[in-house]
Amino acid sequence: MDWFVTPEYYLAITQPKQTALANQELIMTYQEVYDAEAYNFLRPLKGFKRSQDTCKHTSSGKVTYYDWCKQNLAAVSINKRLKKNFNHRIGCWLPVQHISGWSLFWSSFVAGSLIMFGNSLPYVDMCSLVPTQIFRLKYWGNWMKNRPFVLIGAGEIKDQIYRKSYGTTETWAAQIIKESGSRSQCMPYKSGKMLSNQELLLRSWIKQQQNRRFQHALWIKIGDLGVINDEGLWIQSRLDLIYKRSGKSVGVWQIEEAIKKANGESIQVVVVAKHEEHKGVKWIAFVDSTKWPPKMPEQKYWQPDVVIPMPNSKGIKPVRKDLEKYFHELFR
The reply to whether 145 falls in a domain is yes
The reply to whether 265 falls in a domain is yes
pLDDT in tens, 110-148: 888 888 776 676 777 777 655 555 554 554 445 555 554
- Calpha distance 96→10 (Å, rounded): 10
Same domain, 231 and 257: no
- Calpha distance 131→120 (Å, rounded): 19
The reply to whether 119 falls in a domain is yes
What's the pLDDT score for residue 234? 64
What's the pLDDT score for residue 105? 76
Closest CA relative to residue 58, chosen from 240, 202, 324, 272: 240
Helix (H, G, I), strand (E, B) or coil at 48: coil
Highest-pLDDT range among 27-31, 86-90, 327-331? 86-90
Same domain, 250 and 146: no
The reply to whether 114 falls in a domain is yes
Would you say residue 284 has pLDDT above 70? yes
Quickly state the pLDDT bin for 227 (edges 50, 70, 90).
low
pLDDT in tens, 238-279: 777 888 777 777 888 888 888 888 887 667 888 888 887 777
Q: State the total domains in the chain.
A: 2
Q: Average pLDDT, stretch 79-89?
A: 78
The sheet carrying 192-194 orders its strands as 192-194, 199-205, 217-229, 232-238
What CATH number did the domain enclosing 211 receive?
3.40.50
| Residue 117 domain boundaries | 2-236
Asked if residues 177 and 152 have their Cβ atoms less than 8 Å apart, the reply is no
Same domain, 18 and 72: yes
Same domain, 291 and 271: yes
Same domain, 296 and 159: no
pLDDT in tens, 33-77: 333 334 333 333 333 333 333 333 333 333 444 456 556 666 776
The reply to whether 140 falls in a domain is yes
The reply to whether 43 falls in a domain is yes
Would you say residue 319 has pLDDT above 80? no
The reply to whether 96 falls in a domain is yes
Same domain, 138 and 253: no
Same domain, 292 and 200: no
